[in-house]
Structure 1
């Protein structure tokens, strides 16, 4: 398996702001878990008139911590990387408390929970709606800072990263996480789009990543290359499992992730489904009907 240089070491106190770079502060919510690691990090960009990236989960203690950290300052923009509740569940309350508008790619792509992927942690925020829809290359500016939106579909089709060119920094949301690989959960999560978005990051000149979960990532191109290699190796592993006669997602998942915490097997199965959808599209794998969790898969002739 590809060796991804995960960054497991992170020092912080929940609710207390840390300065990570000139003009970059982070406040981590107290929502640790198997999919959020030590919790959701909210980033404050600039001084005085500031932007806030990912207000985090709907938690009143985190709201109070953010307002305390921002005492005497004005929030001019609230930026959302994507519509999972551990990133934007607090968005509406935070916007009301600060008077700042919400900026994002759009509402959650799947409008009804019954049609969406299973909620692995807090799930999706179906009520979230940005005040202003922004897409790739959109520029958001303050007096001392300038952010650029980078559309990175894969984890979700509405996922945005935000670049801070003056620091050669990229706020990566869930597209790249320093402590673990990203879950790509159909029907909206798309493995081919995810790999394309990794290639897009490799074409950039960022020098540091700030994920919503986990510590900053230095030497980011090395990290992204390792993640891409890991994903392509998962393709190969799935093909090998099919060759050995395993034909269902649960059987393939149990074999491939035997050494992984069983609490994460639900997410692993969704990743396997995303890979299989990609392999069916590429005609390396066949199944009867549409690819799904209950389908039976085989190598194509």
Structure 2
């Protein structure tokens, strides 16, 4: 198998090019995909990790063109830290997902959280950024993180879906920042849209987005059903639940699987379907 084309700008359509960061892992697939939007003036979406090689590749791809906005889908360390060096090099503002401040940041973040993320401007759902020949509209899609945004390119019908919808795997939903109820609601929100194509943060282009989103909703309903059936047979702690639901999973991914099961349990508890006492989960009568 050929090595992925790290650092090489690849044109996807007249207004969009992609540059892949060299940060492959079990959680990032081949790496984080940064996107350049525009022709003469640019927006850069998710400049990726704090990586000198990727920063240099982005600057080379940008060339003499002006960057007018650096857009961030969410605050994870494989998406937002590169914004600081890019802003310093180009003078462009960092715009997009909200930061975490005060005590909330300490309680809601995890090891993948970019604690230094400080945008110059936060976008609300439906707000747009415009450049020469392009318009990017923020689409609030919380769930993977509480501040997650996608960006819709109005001129072409493309959606930059970040980690909410990826082209290789379902997203990890990790409480307390991740929220399964919000994640499912955001999928249902996308199902009601008519975007032509998705450009995700990781993995292949999603060329049939409605079908993909329906499949992801079905997958989550299947996981929810597994949990309810197991708890109907008797109370369980989360560890045997995860072991039974994810038999044969790569051990490196088990902590993420545990967090997704926990997110489902928290959502089911909020809906009055299960309850927890001293770490033991059971069905509600």
Compared with structure 1, are the counterparts of its residues 279 and 127 closer, same or farther at alpha carbon in structure 2 (3 Å cutoff)?
same
Number of the residue aligned with 1:191: 180
Contact 1:111 1:126 (C-alpha < 8 Å) held by counterparts: no
Number of the residue aligned with 1:17: 9
Give the drift of 1:288: 2.1
Contact 1:10 1:215 (C-alpha < 8 Å) held by counterparts: no
Match of 1:297 among 259, 281, 285: 281
* Gap regions ≥5 residues in structure 1: 1-8, 290-294
Q: Distance in 2 between matches of 1:118 and 1:247?
A: 25
Number of the residue aligned with 1:54: 46
Number of the residue aligned with 2:57: 65
Q: What TM-score results when the alignment is normalised by the length of structure 2? A: 0.96
Give the drift of 1:242: 1.5
For each residue in 1:40-92, what CA deviation from the matched residue of structure 2 results, as whole angstroms up to 9, or x when unmatched? 00000011110000000000010000001111111000000000010001111
Q: What TM-score results when the alignment is normalised by the length of structure 1? A: 0.91
Say which structure, 1 or 2, has more relative contact order (CA 8 Å, 6+ apart): 1
More displaced 10-residue stretch of structure 1: 238-247 or 271-280: 238-247
Secondary structure at the counterpart of residue 166 of structure 1: coil
Q: Distance in 2 between matches of 1:254 and 1:186?
A: 19
Match of 2:100 among 80, 86, 108: 108
Q: Distance in 1 between matches of 2:101 and 2:226?
A: 30
Match of 2:211 among 222, 234, 245: 222
Q: Distance in 1 between matches of 2:16 and 2:58?
A: 14
> Structure 1 residue 236 and structure 2 residue 225: aligned?
yes
Contact 2:235 2:283 (C-alpha < 8 Å) held by counterparts: no
Number of the residue aligned with 1:79: 71
Give the drift of 1:164: 0.6
Contact 1:110 1:188 (C-alpha < 8 Å) held by counterparts: no
Q: Distance in 2 between matches of 1:241 and 1:86?
A: 35
Give the drift of 1:93: 1.1
Contact 1:209 1:217 (C-alpha < 8 Å) held by counterparts: yes
Compared with structure 1, are the counterparts of its residues 12 and 110 closer, same or farther at alpha carbon in structure 2 (3 Å cutoff)?
farther
Number of the residue aligned with 1:163: 152
Runs of 4+ residues deviating >3 angstroms:
9-12, 108-114
Compared with structure 1, are the counterparts of its residues 183 and 226 closer, same or farther at alpha carbon in structure 2 (3 Å cutoff)?
same
Contact 2:4 2:30 (C-alpha < 8 Å) held by counterparts: no
Compared with structure 1, are the counterparts of its residues 164 and 114 closer, same or farther at alpha carbon in structure 2 (3 Å cutoff)?
closer
Number of the residue aligned with 2:164: 175
Contact 1:10 1:214 (C-alpha < 8 Å) held by counterparts: no
Contact 2:146 2:177 (C-alpha < 8 Å) held by counterparts: yes
Give the drift of 1:113: 7.1
Secondary structure at the counterpart of residue 242 of structure 1: helix
Q: Distance in 1 between matches of 2:97 and 2:56?
A: 26
Q: Number of paired residues?
A: 285
Q: Distance in 1 between matches of 2:17 and 2:67?
A: 13
